[in-house]
Each structure stands twice: as structure tokens, then as C-alpha cells.
A and B are shown apart, each in its own frame.
Chain A
Amino acid sequence: MMPATIQPPPGRQPAGAPAARAREVTKIYGHGPAAVTALEGVSLDIPAGSFTAVMGPSGSGKSTLMHCLAGLDTVTSGRIWIGDTEITGLRERQLTRLRRDRIGFVFQAYNLLPVLSAAANITLPLDIAGRPADPEWLTTVIDTVGLGGRLGHRPAELSGGQQQRVAVARALASRPDIVFADEPTGNLDSRASAEVLGLLRRSVGEFGQTVVMVTHDPVAASYAGRVVFLADGRIAGGLDRPTPASVLDAMKNLGE
């Protein structure tokens, strides 16, 4: 299916180097007695070309961790790198540019712009940047997500699964260093979920894309190559080559 000539996007870190790193990251919301510690001394490496799932019970800090890694939120202390760029301490403007050029997002609630067609939604980050799309890469991405016939449709004319596939295509279109997916299957039925998760896994396997996915669904997590567990704002363990059963086991242990 995939042409052999497609190369990993330029500017990638050499194989093995982490696509993102967190060192002793602490995030505290509020001040004084009302302060809530969401993350406490989290250190994590996301290897390039890996598919990592972040799991944990509600309030474990998994979403906060993702937001901090993606430059959507600031940390209270600690340092974060995307590739070799330290993002902690970057100004708002630089962070925005970094998100635009080097990060892709897939959110739970699709988050497509209703006024744009599926095709325009896919190229939106490139358009915002004023960068021309690489037509060959775009074709590959669109073929992969399987939307060929529906590109001219508005989001309201697409099913939930189709909308989320458009969101994945949008995340991949700019060849980001890393794609963050926040509960990407939270609103989907099991069949559409399987499609979207398969898509994310193929992007890792076939294109060498790095993907970090936050989820609370063991089945979703089992698509990843590695699961990182979070509890009470700390890393509580990890699991390579997860299966739904092994993830469930690990979750049970977390609760104890």
C-alpha cells in the first residue's frame, strides 16, 4: 500500500534519540492551602518512532502531562524538550509556532472547524503556517485514512469516525515530530475506535511517526507499543507490548 519511496520526514531526530523528554516535571495548580499538585517529579522519554499510551485513573495527571509535553500548559518546575528544543521557558509566540510546526493534535471531541471542508481542515495547520503542502505526502496521508470520496464534505456531513480520521490526517499532514492524541476514541463506537487506533498504529509503523496517546481504555492502550501508567501525578509503572488483559492487570495493581 505504502510506496517504498516515502522517507521519514526530514528534521527527525536520529533513530533512538527521544522525540520528547520530561525531567522532574512538577505542576501545581493554585496557591496556598487550595493548591493541587497534578504532576510531581515526572521524568519520561518518548523515543522517536514509538507509540506510547499514557494511562491512569481520573485525576492521575495524565491529561496534564500531555498538555505540558505538548506546550499547551506551562510547568511549575522541571524541564521538557521536544526533540532537542527545550520548550519550558519558551514564550507564548514561540510555543505557538512550535505547536504549529512540530506537533500534531487529535482531541476527543474531533475539534474540526465546521466552516471548512474535510480537505481544508486537513491542511489547516499548513495553511496557518503559510507552508505549501507536500502533495505526495498529503495523498499518502489521505489514502491511509481512507477519506478519498468525502474530502469536499463539511464535518457536519461526516460520521464521528470519519471526523476523527480527518483529525488524524490533519495531525499527520504537517509531518510533526510528535502527535498527541487525547482520548481519541472517547466519543466513538468500537468499530470506529478500531479504525482510528489502527490508523495511529500504522502511522507509527509505516511512516515512523511518534505518537503519544492519553486514554483510559485498556483496549485502546493495547494498540500502543508501550504503556506508561500514572497515579497521583507520578509515574507508577510501564508495560511494553501491552494486551488488553495485561493492561487491566497492571491497572488493578495500580489501585492497590
Chain B
Amino acid sequence: MFRSVFIGALFRSMLAHRLRLVLTGLAIALGVAFMAGSFTFSATLTRSLDSLFAQASTGTDVEVMHASPGGSTITGSPAQPVPASVLATVRRVPGVAAADGQVTGQAVLLGRDGKPLPGSFGVALSWPADAPFQQSFTGRTGQPPAGPGQVMIDRASARRGHFAAGQRIGIAIAGHAVPFTITGITGYGSADTIAGGSMAIFSLPAAQQLFGKPGQYDQIAVKAAPGVSAAQLRDRIASVLPPGDVAVTAAAASASAARQINSALGVLTGFFLGFAGIALFVGAFVIWNTFSIMIGQRTRELALTRALGASAGQVFRSVLAEAAVLATAGSAAGVGLGLGLARGLAALLAAFGFALPISGLALPAAELAIAAGTGIAITVIASLPAAWRATRIAPVQAMRDPAPEPARFSAGRLAGGLAITLAGVAALLAGILAGNGQIVLAAAGAACCFIGITVLAPLTVRPLARLSAAPLLRLPGRVGLLARGNTMRNPKRTSATAAALMIGLAVIAATSVLVSSARATIGQQVHAASRTSFYVQAANGTSGLSPALARAIAAQPGVRAVTEVRQTTATVAGAAGRTIDGIDPSAIGQFTDLGVTAGRLSALAAPGTIMVSAEVASGRGWTTGDAITVQFGAYGLYRLRITGIFANIGPLSSYLVANTTLAADSGVRTDSVDLIQAPRSARNAIRSALAGYPGAQLTDQAGYIASQTKVLNSLLTLVTAMLILAIVIALLGVVNTLALSISERTREIGLLRAIGMQRSQLRQMITAESVIISVIGALLGIILGLGLGAALAAALTTSRQATVTIPAGQLVIYILATAAAGVLASIGPARRAARLDTLTAIAAE
């Protein structure tokens, strides 16, 4: 009986505060939505890509290619082609129904304005002669390409560029624009194009000529005769292949490609989940703070229930029940929101230039349950301190005036807070510096930092409130002073509210310190070593620049010297995603001062050799003569011998190989940048050589540095965008705190109105409080972020002089933006305060 009355009262009290309920539920729902959205997004992508690869190999049973292909299967070509004679050999194998030689490459479709059509990559294919291999090209209109100067393009690009069959189109191959006639338009499997990229399909002879592979194929597609399995056919073909070439089943090839892409997607999903974790962590702060304030306000009510005979356990359970109801509703809403967010994430990625194929949402039930469960668990855990405090309310407090919580600051708190913060910093740094696999340690360290600072934060509220309220004291009618006093009267509450905001801002600030430090480091490196006057770079880095361009530039009047630099990414001794530059060992010394400390640059001309920077060498403990394993692309595994160590990276990267080695091992035969020595006056002459190369950009040193650091800026933008959700959740907390403190101060507000404060002034006061709390959060976040960012930047540049740059202007903008967000957060509570009826407010208890 008693229990049902108790639970009934609980629900009535929850319903009486619908708005607070919705806001608090939303704080959890948003974090859960992010998590559920990441899971759904990744499941959807995986499914889409699996079906894409299945479609790509439609009609093909076995593929024949060189044993060491490089690049990814969708966009790259194998490192070495297969000679045409192999095709004849394969065709003679019994059980082969059809076999086709194919050439792939990179080609960027140009719009009518001569600029590349938007898209993440451009793939070039040869038109297969046999019908089975044409099945992937669905919904074709017009004719397949039949001769030189003819092309078939994908339907998505045709739509985007308003192209139709019979029209002319420019296509950049190795950066050079070549005119073609569109003979037809095609879809790809169930989609309009291949995985968000563009397709240019040429006739086989045209493709061989365009990509410099006359009489050669990148791979051979084989169709089995009825009754012959793919595995049988693979074995038969393998037995007749010349050494160096391999046969794989199409299923194995697409599975391997899918695995490769999915592992890249796993990184992406992890990235999203990291931000979802931050959002949930912030949500937990908001729940904790809201419940603490609510229990404080309900002291009298709870004491009364204790006086009437409720046990401490019942009080504890009633608070937890409220949290559980809220958590369940919030998490359920979050999962629903997450499904919508999954589509939003795809759109966001597309906006940052990573268009990915999405066909219908996949619903990963287990992961969605994990997301909802995490939301519920976090909410209930966050409400535990409040529930525990509720049990400590003595029945006699029903008869007393609610005593304001003493805002004492004990030395124990100070010591504890410092200890937690320092332990957190240590764990965070250890986790990040340990490299891969220590993400959990780093995340736990970051969480500890935030909790430690939150424990310490009440100490900082008074000075920070004074600081952030200083500009507001100019507001007429003591509005700023009143607001400041109100935020300082309960430092714990103010700091807990601000701490939620602090988290997002700390990460943003740390990232911006890292980015600006990295930018400064790159700039310093280039300035210190480079003797290059101009740089011609491949735009977007998708298809590179033809070596012909370097020759054309060298022929311009005034140009003293040109050298080609090529680039690829590789896994070096187990470390993935390392940039390797291909250089001309005999020329590069003219363009940048490498500062070779061991070995000789000229030795790099020998095949199978590599040079590494002193920073890498000391970090890995390598010396000249060591052999290291380098994996270009998916399969190409090589042992390269270190012939030299250099001190100055300059405009290059930490790993250098000769262009000849790069071409042999990775298949990269185009330039990423041409370094030029010429007087300033030669600029126009160089520019004229770029005519017909829409993918080439001419820059000077400053422009080159800017282009090298552009990706860092995008990273900062992406991180900021991801953290906006965490900041929105923290702002919900600000709204909650304001609303709760207004209901506590009803009588004061009534008095202010009675003695003549206008509604507008009252609104200003609440807004000022919101701004002060928000700015305290921003200041705490920026202080913490500066500390973390500087520590990381210093730690990451250990072997050289530490470069830490503080982007002061940017940080000021973050503070102002947070203040503006505080104004937004105050709109609702301020309006409610202004609407309070003066008389009832004065009479309020």
C-alpha cells in the first residue's frame, strides 16, 4: 500500500516538472543517439560495401594479377601489370568460359567549368569485351566506348555535371585534361556509381594507351564454364601462370578488399564512438547535477516521508526509480534519434568530402541494445550520489528551514582533486604515447582529468565568476552584480554545471593547440630546410601529376631546376598510414637540405633501399644497414634496407625512397608535387606550363605550407563539429540549473519585481547568470585543454625542440561562442522567471 502511494507520488512529481524531465531525458537521449547512430551507420556501411564488392565481381569467378599489387582494389592499380601473353595462356585452360584483360587507373571527370566534379575519387576502367563481365554496368544508355577519344561515364556524375551521351567532357588523367566524347552512361550494380566516386570507362586499347600499359593488363577476369567451380578453376589457372602472377577467386578478392575497407571503417566508427562516449559522459554530469539539485530542493518533502515511516531504502529506491524511468525513456528516444543520426552522419561525411555508398539502414540489434543499456546504466549510476544523499536526510529536517548546503572547501578535497587530475593526466599521456591499443587507458585518463578538475572546480568558481562577470557589471541596474552573486552563492552547483561544458571545450581547445603546434612545426621544418622557390601540387591528391608536366615546367624560360616528388601511404614495420615520399636521389639535395647524418643520399638510387628521418630512427632504434618491412597498399610486402638517416624533413616526409623503387614496389608513377627552383619573375612562365592541367596548383613556400596543414584544419573542424552535441547536452544542463535555481529563488524574484525591477531587467539578470556559468565552463575547459594540448604537443615532439603554439585568437572566439550559447540557454528560464506573478512569487515559500 505504502509503496504504491510512494511510486504514485514519484510519478506525479515527475509529471509536474515535465520540462525538466524532457531536458534531463534529452541529455541522455542525445548521447545514446550518437552511439546508436555510430553503430547503425557502421553496420549500414559494412552491408553496403559488402554488396558493392559482391556486385563488382558479378560474372567473374577468378582474377589473375601480379603477385604484389598495390593500392586499394577499388581505386588503385596493381604495382606491376600482367603481360598480354598471360591472357592467351589463361584462355587455353580447360573450364574457362571467358577471360578478359582489364586496365584500371585514376581519372577525374571535369565539369563544364574545367574544375573536377565533386566526389571522393575518380576511377578509370576498361570496357570488358565479354558479356559476363559487363553485368556490373547496369542500366546502360548509349553505346560502350569503342575507340580513342570515347568514354562512358557513371550516371551520378552525368547528373551532377549535366552531361548526356554525345556531349564532350574533359577528363584529367595524371592531372592533364584530355577531351573525350561521351558515348554512354551507366550505373554500377544497384547504384548510380561506384562507392561515391566517379567512373570513366574507356575501350581497352584506349585505356592501355592512356595509362602507359600497351600490351599489358592490370588484371585478367575469368568466367568458369558450367560445372567448374571457382576454386577448381583457380587451381588449374595457377598451375599454368608464369612466376610472379597469381590467381584468386573473385569471392576471395572481394572479401579481402571488403576486409581492408571495413578495417578502415572500424577506425571511423571508433572515432564516432569516442565522441559518443564524450557526449554520454557530459550527459552523466548533467544527470548528476540535476538530481543533486532536485534532491536538495526536495529535502523537506523527503524528510516528511521519512517522518511518516518510509525507510532509507525506500527513499533510495524511489530516487533510483525516478532515474530508471527517465533513463529508459531517454535511451529509447535516443535509439530512435540515432537511426536518424546515422543518415545525418553520412551527410556530414559527404560534406567533408568522404562520400560513401548508403543503401537503406541496417539495424544492428545487439549494438543498439548496447547503446540503450549504456544510456540507462550511466543515468542510474549518475543518480546514485543523489540517491545516497537522499537517504541521509533526517526526518527532523521536515520541520526545519531548508539549510543551504555549506559551501566549505576542505583541504582533503583539494588534495583528492589534484591527485585524481594528475593521475588522469599521466594515464592520458601514457595511453596516447603508447600508440595503438591504449585508447581505453587514454579515455580513462581523460575522464579522470575531468573528474579531478570537477572536484577542484568549486575552488575556482569565485575568481572565475568575478573574471567572467567583469564585462557584465556595466549592465544598468546592478543586474550584473546580482547575477554574479547568484552564481557564486552555490559554487558546487555552478561548477558542476560549468564542468559539463568544460569537457567539450577542453577537447576542442586541446585539439586546436595540437593543430596549431603541428602547423607551426611543419612551417618551421619547411622554412628551415627548403631551398625550393615554387611548388606545383596535385589538387586533392587523387590522381597525381604526369611526369610530362615536370618536363614542360623545366622547359620554361627562367626555370633553373625541377624535381619530381611522388607519394604513397604504407605500413612501415607495423605502423600503418605512414607517408612515403619518392624522390630523385641525385637531384633532391638541390631543393632541400636533408642534413644526412648517417649513410649517403646517393646510395638510395639502388633498388630495395629507404632513408628515414633521424626522429623516426631514434624512436624506433634503427641504424643504417637495418632492413625494415614496408607494405605498400594491401599486399605488397618488401624488405627495404636503410641506407641513410637525415635530420631535416623540410617539405618531405620521414620516409624517402627513390622514385624508381616506388614505381616498382607500389605502382605509383605520377608526381604528387614538383619542386621548382626559379626566380620570382618566372612565375607566369611556370603558370603557362600548367595550362591543360586542371589538377595542378602552383604555390610558393607559404602556399605550400598552408596546403600541407589544410588537413589539420579540417580535422579541427570535424572534431569541433562532433563536440557540438556534447556542448548542446551541457547547455541543457545549464538550462536545468537555471530553471531549478529560479524555482528556488521565487520569492527573491517576486521582491525584485515588487521594488521595481522591470521584466526586461530580470531577463537580463538570468541571461547574465547563464553567460557567467557558461564562460566559467569555457575558461575551465580552455585552461584544461591548453594544459593537455601543450603536454601532448610537447610529448609528441620529444626528439626535436618542442613546439607548442597557443592559438589565442581562436580560444577567445571559443569563449565568445560559449557566452553566446549561454545566452541561448537562458532564453527559456529567463522568460519563465519574467512571467512569474509578482504577488504569488512574494508569497511563495
Residues of chain A at the chain B interface (Cβ within 8 Å): 67, 70, 72-73, 92-93, 96-97, 99-101, 103-105, 107, 109, 111, 113-116, 120, 124-125, 127-130, 170
Asked if B710 lies at the interface with its beta carbon under 8 angstroms from chain A, I say: no
Listed by A's residue number, 13 A-B pairs whose Cβ atoms lie within 8 Å are: A67-B839, A72-B842, A73-B839, A92-B759, A96-B756, A97-B758, A99-B755, A105-B755, A113-B752, A115-B485, A115-B489, A120-B481, A125-B755
Closest to A128 in B: B477
B756 touches A97 (CB 8 A): yes
A129 vs B752: C-alpha distance when bound (angstroms): 12
Q: Is the CB of A99 within 8 A of B482?
A: no
Contact indicator B756/A130 (Cβ below 8 Å): no
Question: Cα distance A238–B757 when bound, in Å?
Answer: 35
Cβ-defined contact, B758 with A113, below 8 A = no
Contact call B488/A125, Cβ cutoff below 8 A: no
Checking A101, A111, A120 against B756 with a beta-carbon cut-off of 8 angstroms, the contacting residue is A101
- Bound-state Cα–Cα, A115 to B756, Å: 18
Which B residues touch A113, using CB under 8 A? 482, 485, 748, 751-752
B809 interface residue, CB < 8 Å from A? no
B761 to chain A, nearest CB (A): 7
Nearest chain B CB to A46 CB, angstrom units: 19
B747, A114: Cβ atoms under 8 Å?
no
12 extra A-B contacts, CB within 8 A, seeds A72-B838, A113-B482: A67-B839, A70-B754, A96-B753, A96-B759, A97-B758, A99-B756, A107-B754, A111-B751, A114-B748, A125-B755, A125-B756, A127-B477
Q: B112 near A: Cβ within 8 Å? A: no
Q: Which residues of A contact B488 (CB under 8 A)?
A: 115
Contact count band on B: 20 to 34
Q: Which of A70, A92, A125, A128 has the most CB of B within 10 A?
A: A128
Q: Top 4 nearest A-B pairs by Cβ distance?
A: A100-B756, A115-B485, A127-B478, A128-B477
Is there contact, CB below 8 Å, between A130 and B476?
Answer: yes
Contacts of B477 in A (CB 8 A): 127-130
With beta carbons under 8 angstroms apart, the residue of B482, B485, B754, B757 that contacts A105 is: B754
Q: How far is the CA of A127 from the CA of B480 in the complex (A)?
A: 11
In B136-162, the 8 Å CB interface with A consists of none
B residues 484-542 touching A (CB-CB < 8 Å): 485-486, 488-489
The answer for the CA separation of A125 and B754 in the assembled complex, in Å, is 10
Min CB distance A107 to B, Å, is: 7
Once the chains are docked, how many angstroms separate the CA of A130 from the CA of B754?
16
**Contact B757 A111, beta carbon cutoff 8 Å:** no
The 8 A CB mask of B758-799 against A (1 = contact, 0 = none) is 110100000000000000000000000000000000000000
Q: Mark B731-765, 1 if CB is under 8 A from A, else 0.
A: 00000000000000001100111111111010000
CA–CA, A215 and B839, complex, Å: 18
Say yes or no: A111 contacts B481, CB within 8 Å: no
Q: Cβ of A97: which chain B residues have Cβ within 8 Å of it?
A: 756, 758
| Chain B residues whose C-beta falls within 8 Å of the C-beta of A127 in the assembled complex | 477-478
* Given A72-B838, A127-B477: A96 in contact with B757 (beta carbons within 8 A): yes
CB distance from A8 to the nearest CB of B (A): 21
- Chain A residues within 8 Å of B748, by CB: 111, 113-114
The answer on a CB contact under 8 Å between A72 and B839 is: yes
* Chain B contact residues: helix, strand, loop or mixed: helix
The smallest beta-carbon distance between A122 and chain B, in angstroms, is 11
Q: How far apart are the CA atoms of A93 and B751 in the complex, in Å?
A: 16
Q: Nearest CB to that of A99 among chain B residues?
A: B756
**Chain A positions within 8 Å of B753 at CB level:** 96
When distances are taken between beta carbons in the complex, the residues of chain B under 8 Å from A93 are 758-759
Contact between chains at A114 and B489 (CB < 8 Å)? yes
Complex formed: what's the CA distance from A109 to B755 in Å? Answer: 15
Residues of B within 8 A of A100 (CB): 755-757
CA distance A2 to B478 in the complex (A): 30
Q: Which of B813-845 contact A (CB under 8 A)?
A: 838-839, 842
Complex Cα distance, B841 from A107, in Å, reads: 13
Residue of A nearest to B755 (CB): A125
- Which residue, B476, B482, B489, has most C-beta atoms of chain A within 10 A? B482
Q: Which residue of A lies closest to B478 (CB)?
A: A127
Q: Which residue of B lies closest to A98 (CB)?
A: B756
A124 to B753, CA, bound (A): 12
Measured CB to CB, the closest approach of chain A to B598, in angstroms, equals 69
Q: Is the CB of A72 within 8 A of B482?
A: no
Identify the closest chain A residue to B838 (Cβ). A72
In the assembled complex, the CB of A12 is this many whole angstroms from the nearest CB of chain B, namely 19
Task: Note all chain B residues with C-beta closer than 8 A to A105.
Answer: 751, 754-755
**With a CB–CB cut-off of 8 A, which chain B residues contact A109?**
747
Residues of chain A within 8 A (CB-CB) of B755 are 99-100, 104-105, 124-125, 128, 170
* Residue of A whose beta carbon sits closest to that of B761: A128
Chain B: minimal CB distance from A58 (Å):
14
Bound complex: CA of A55 vs CA of B485, how far in Å? 38
Chain B residues with Cβ below 8 Å from A111 are: 747-748, 751, 842
Separation of A114 and B759 alpha carbons in the complex (Å):
20
B761: A residues at CB distance < 8 A: 128
CB of A158, distance to nearest CB on chain B (Å): 16
Report yes or no: B482 in contact with A115, Cβ–Cβ below 8 A. yes
Residue on B nearest A97 in the bound complex, by CB = B756
Instruction: Report the bound CA distance from A73 to B838 in whole Å.
Output: 9
Bound Cα distance A107, B755 (Å): 11
- Chain B residues with CB under 8 Å of A101's CB are 756
Q: How far is the CB of B749 from chain A (nearest CB, A)?
A: 10
Nearest Cβ distance between residue A215 and chain B, in whole angstroms?
17
Cβ contact within 8 Å between A96 and B758: yes
- With a cutoff of 8 Å between Cβ atoms, the chain B residues found around residue A107 in the complex are 751, 754, 842
Q: Tell me the complex Cα distance, A73–B759, Å.
A: 16
A253: min CB distance to chain B, Å = 30
In the complex formed, the residue of A with least CB distance to B756 is: A100
- Say how far A238's CB is from chain B's closest CB, in angstroms: 26
- Bound CA–CA A167/B485 (angstroms): 19
Q: CA separation between A111 and B754, bound complex, in Å?
A: 11
A124 to B842, CA, bound (A): 17
- Inter-chain contact A72/B754, CB cutoff 8 Å: yes
Chain B residues with Cβ under 8 A from A104's Cβ? 755
Name which of B748, B755, B839 has the most chain A CB atoms within 10 A of its CB: B755
CB neighbours (8 Å) of A70 from chain B are 754
A107 to B753, CA, bound (A): 13
Chain B residue at minimal CB-CB distance from A130: B476
Cα A170 to Cα B752 in complex, Å, equals 12
Chain A residues with CB under 8 Å of B752's CB are: 113, 128
The CA of A14 and the CA of B700, in the complex, are separated in Å by 85
A101 to B756, CA, bound (A): 7
Query: Which of B486, B757, B839 is packed against the most chain A CB atoms within 10 Å?
Result: B757
List A contacts of B757 (CB < 8 A). Answer: 96, 100, 128
